[in-house]
Amino acid sequence: MTGKEEPHNQKVERILHKSLGDVTQEELTFIKNLAEKELEWREESKRMAKFWMLYVKGRSIPKVCHLSDEEALQEAARLARLPENVGRRVYLLEAVKYCFVDGTAPPPLLVWQRLDER
């Protein structure tokens, strides 16, 4: 190479041709789309790291995502001290997995991913 970075899509295509040998253009496009989707999922997973929510027993559903457990614990203490919540349990909910439907491959595939597997 001449010091210039090879565009990502060309690099993917070159690697796939090298590793898979004879593939049709349709197969290559399908594989490239899957590889690009995987990269997008990994990036999204990095952006959407763990988060915490609070549930006060007998109250409305959780609506706020806390980006640290410390922040969530502080808010849990505040909620527990509210007069209307005295005697109610405040649950700290931690996101550990998420799922999504991969619509790129027929039939749609339900994928589960642990948040700590990035």
- State the pLDDT at residue 10: 72
Q: What is the mean pLDDT of the chain?
A: 80
Task: List, for residues 79-103, the tens digit of each pLDDT value.
Answer: 999 999 999 999 999 998 888 787 7
Q: Which residues of 60-78 are buried (b: 16+ CB within 10 A; e: fewer)?
A: eeeeeebeeeeebeebbee
Task: List, for residues 35-55, the tens digit of each pLDDT value.
Answer: 787 777 677 666 667 899 999
Write down the pTM of the prediction.
Answer: 0.54
